[in-house]
Amino acid sequence: AADISSDLTTVLYTEEQVHQRLAELATQIDEDYAGRDILLVGVLTGAVMVMADLSRALRSHCEMDWMAISSYGSGTQSSGVVRILKDLNTDIAGRHVLVVEDIIDTGLTLSYLVSNLRSREPASLEIMTMFRKPEAQSNQVEVKYVGFDIPNEFVVGYGLDYDGRYRNLTSVGTLAPHVYS
């Protein structure tokens, strides 16, 4: 079978660079949450890799829950429509919630999610994302933990997909043009 990594034209971040940065963020999160248990809320499906790696880099107690919320169809552009496909199993009232995302692009998904979660009255609510694109800044979402600010290009790997594929690439990069045609 063809090696999916050969569909990348550019590698932006290697697996090592991602893990190195996650270790730094985990240290910071452990300090910030000293003495408090964390409820990690992962946003399916993109955040599965970050969730798995961040949670294991933490030394703090943490629990995990998941929400499925989608603003994208099968293309590379946001549809502008946010839908909850699966809600949390946990009552987050009084909990210290840390939302875990793979990427913030327009910020649309998160601004919807944050106002939705805030109405459930968590003790605290913060956001961690592995990647953030420039447009996210304009969408008023305050993000406490950011792995990397990246250029406005369509990237895949480490949870990020194109039409559901390439999430399982360990590195993050841009796709060769032939993939889109």
Catalytic (active-site) positions? 105
In this structure, are residues 62 and 40 in contact, taking their beta carbons and an 8 Å threshold? Answer: yes
Among 150, 161, 167, 171, binds Mg ion (CB under 5 A): 161
Q: Which of residues 15-54 bind Mn ion (CB under 5 A)?
A: 43, 46
Q: Taking CB within 5 to 8 Å according to partner kind, which of ligand PRP, Mn ion, Mg ion, none is near residue 78?
A: ligand PRP
Which positions from 25 to 44 touch ligand PRP by CB under 6 A, shown as an x/- string? ------------------xx
Residue nearest to Mn ion (CB): 46
Q: Check residue 15 for interaction with Mg ion (CB under 5 A).
A: no
From residue 161, how far is each of 56, 61, 71, 89, 140 by CA, in Å? Answer: 23, 30, 13, 25, 25
Closest CA to 156 of 1, 3, 4, 2: 4
* Minimum distance of ligand PRP from residue 31's CB (angstroms): 26
CB-based contacts of 116: which residues, under 8 Å, 6+ apart?
Answer: 84
The one-letter code for the residue type at 180 is Y
Q: Which of residues 107-136 bind ligand PRP (CB under 6 A)?
A: 107-109
Closest CA to 174 of 148, 147, 156: 156
Closest CA to 158 of 148, 146, 167: 167
Q: Which of residues 84-103 bind ligand PRP (CB under 6 A)?
A: 101-103
Where along the sequence are the contacts to Mg ion (CB under 5 A)? 72, 161
Where along the sequence are the contacts to ligand PRP (CB under 6 A)? 43-46, 70-72, 78, 101-109, 161
